[in-house]
Amino acid sequence: MKKYNLLLLGPPGAGKGTQAQVLAHKYNLIRLDTGSLIRAAIQSGTDLGLKAKEFVSAGKLIPDTLVINLILNELKKIKEMDRNFLLDGFPRNLAQAEALEQTLKANDCKLDFAVEIKLDFDKLLDRITGRRICTNKACNAVYHLQFSPPKQENICDLCGSFLYQRDDDKAELVKTRLETYQKETLPLTEFYKNKSLLKEINGNQTPEQVSEDIFKVLI
């Protein structure tokens, strides 16, 4: 099995989490997602964690430099273990991508591929806005009006509770999130395309087919 350092790009609703799991398992990669890294640092009370906590407590975005330092720490550990990484949710913009490249270079490390899961805007909107979740927190079952509807309208098959739509999944908000994603990601994909690292994957298919397509381009 070849060894890769990978980066996964894709809009909200593209099933990036599922693919990240599959890839991490198949290629024995350590998955780095910034959300978990930040939470872990805060919990462990490291210097970086304490700094991150100040921003989180103040309801502010954590600055790029802090996130990069967190990632840099992890990358060093991964390198010492002679393992490889999968970056998920980072970089989010061009500045972060450039900083990441510097960091990798300085540590004698490099990215092998940036995998982008591409989806049609309309299909994404359908996917996300169709999602319904069980109001029973202990159940938390997820349905989709089109793809996996409940047997009885608006009622959970498993526990009989009502279903609801998360605020995050409502059309107007989703549109804003997708537009932000497109605006920030476009320069990012161009950056990796220019370095011949970008692999574009058709996300308008089943998760299994998406995985297969990713395996095919990783050679």
Using CB under 5 A, list all residues that contact Zn ion. 134, 136, 139, 141, 156, 158-159, 161
- 166 catalytic? Reply is yes
- 83 catalytic? Reply is no
Structure tokens at 18: 């599922």
- 26 catalytic? Reply is no
Closer to Zn ion by Cβ: residue 42 or 134: 134
Closer to Zn ion by Cβ: residue 40 or 159: 159
Give the nearest distance from C-beta 158 to Zn ion in angstroms. 5
Closer to Zn ion by Cβ: residue 44 or 152: 152
Give the nearest distance from C-beta 166 to Zn ion in angstroms. 15
Query: Of these residues, 92, 118, 175, 193, which one is catalytic?
Result: 92
Query: Of these residues, 76, 83, 166, 170, which one is catalytic?
Result: 166
DSSP state of 118: E
C-alpha span between 145 and 190 (Å, rounded): 35
Closer to Zn ion by Cβ: residue 142 or 186: 142
**Long-range pairs for 127-132 at CB < 8 Å and ≥24 separation?**
127/13, 128/12, 128/13, 128/169, 128/174, 129/165, 129/169, 129/170, 129/171, 129/174, 131/165, 131/166, 131/169, 132/163, 132/164, 132/165
Query: Of these residues, 31, 118, 175, 177, which one is catalytic?
Result: 177
Provide the 10 A C-beta neighbour count for residue 151. 8
- 16 catalytic? Reply is yes
Give the nearest distance from C-beta 13 to Zn ion in angstroms. 22
Q: How far apart are the first and last CA of the chain?
A: 10
- 31 catalytic? Reply is no
Active site residues: 16, 92, 131, 166, 177
